[in-house]
Structure 1
Amino acid sequence: MKLNIFLRVSLTVIVMWVSGWGGAARPAQAQTEGCFNVVEDSDFESFVWSEGSVPDTVDLDPNPFSGEFFPFPIANWDGSNGSVQDYNAPAGPASGEWWAWFGQGISNTAPITQVMQYIEQEIVIPSGVTANLELKLWISRADPGTNASDWLQVKFNDTGVFTVTGALTAPYASGYQTVRVNVSPFANGLTTTLTISATTRAQQNGLPPVINFNVDDVRVCAAYTVFLPWVRK
């Protein structure tokens, strides 16, 4: 039997097959789907994402009395960027030590009623592929009084592709759940801004009802086909 090796490169896929079936018809080639992740630092361990808040000078508990401003949502399990304290626990990562923790309870000396926290990065999805957004979400706390005024949203450029509010916490309340959304319309080879943001209520005196949106392991999968090798006995 003669072995021919052909290389077919598409999103780093190498395809191999065997010829030499004689007069017999060659069977259909088995296929499976692979994921080419275009998001850098999916698990927040490498500090690639841009992050901030609007307004940008607010106290995000758990450090309301430290005199420091923490408008940023990326948090660390060991407390180096916001520790998990009783009055806004539970919260934590799905993997590793870092995750995006939105909400937490926001107090401020200015008379503001809401704060928007965000993280974002630029991505490029290859043209013409099937693309899916995947992330892990855990709404670990939603105090009585949290409602549709508190929400988390994922946007591609200015288009929202996923939204969850404080009124719809049940599917995500018992630990991290995987969210999967088709984002193939953005598979155009152009630069796209991926933004994850949360808008939650703030309170001037004391804490508002606390809601914790925990996000980890964010991927945008550009799907490709992997052709499995033929095997002949």
Structure 2
Amino acid sequence: MKPFTTIESVAAFIDEDAIDTDIIFPARFLLLLDKAGLAKHAFHERRHAPALKQPFILDRAPFTAAEILVARKNFGTGSSREQAVWCLADFGIRCIIAESFGEIFFANCFKNGVLPIVKSGDELKEIREAAGEEQKIEIDLVDRTIRFQDGRVMAFEVDDYRRDALLNGLDEIGSILRDDGDDIVRFEERQRGRSPWLHLDPQKLSTFADLGKEKILD
């Protein structure tokens, strides 16, 4: 997973509440399990609706290269599908700022290198205005700040464990191996001594199984 420290980008603002995971990644694409290439299916109905008066925000320059997505209330609610985060990450989105998130979607963001930030009221309004003016916004995870082009600085909250994982590009397995790797090694060493058959080479197990069959046949 790519480490997240600081990004600077225009922000694409989707002026809509309750964007659920089916809007982000429609159910008919769920058979696609490879993370690469999912970006083309992100917001499929919003991007391909026949009555569109203008292209969807992520299909309009300069937002085609946006790394920051800004939304309103209840972003990512509904189904727990992790592909909703995968397709956004594949598009290049590294940070999502919204008034509130679906709980599972919020957790999945951290597991896939995407930083979700909760902002509301006047602060969210400032971010939306900057997005509408196509200003670049800097997200600094090291300092936990949002910086605007005019020099304004806004703090945001993220818990220490998740922040550390993003800074180091670690998913849950990576964090466990880093923090508990020594304990895992010691456990396996004890287990190897107590239950050596659990650690036999598969080829040897196959040989033992064949010998067992021969004894039974005899």
Taking structure 2 as the reference length, the TM-score comes to 0.26
Higher relative contact order (CA 8 A, sep 6+): 1
Greater helix proportion: 2
Taking structure 1 as the reference length, the TM-score comes to 0.25
Greater strand proportion: 1
